[in-house]
Amino acid sequence: MLKPIYLLIPLLIVGCATDPVTMSERKQQDQAVAQHNATTADNKDRLVCRKEKKTGSHRPIKICRTVRQIEADKISARTELERNKVRDLPSN
């Protein structure tokens, strides 16, 4: 009776380890990014892809953004931090 359990364990491990994006889809995405970057004259419109882990997840996902978007996000985050610093200063 234990044999079916031993057959299910490898299937569960493989099922959890598989990526929903296939290798051919990943290659197509990489080719599309490379083609976009080759045809882009402005460096700020170049796509940069990174693998990021969402909060609460151990699985990284691929995020592609332009250099312009990355810089805007940095400025926005810095502004928000500065705003919170001013708000949290103790008053005498």
Q: Within a 10 A sphere around the Cβ of 91, how many other Cβ atoms? A: 3
pTM for this entry: 0.62
The predicted model gives 18-35 an average pLDDT of 83
The predicted model gives 5-9 an average pLDDT of 58
The predicted model gives 27-42 an average pLDDT of 91
pLDDT interval class at 92 (50, 70, 90) = low
Dihedral angle sign, alpha carbons of residues 40, 44, 50, 56 = negative
What pLDDT score was predicted for residue 5? 57
Structure tokens at 7: 């057959």
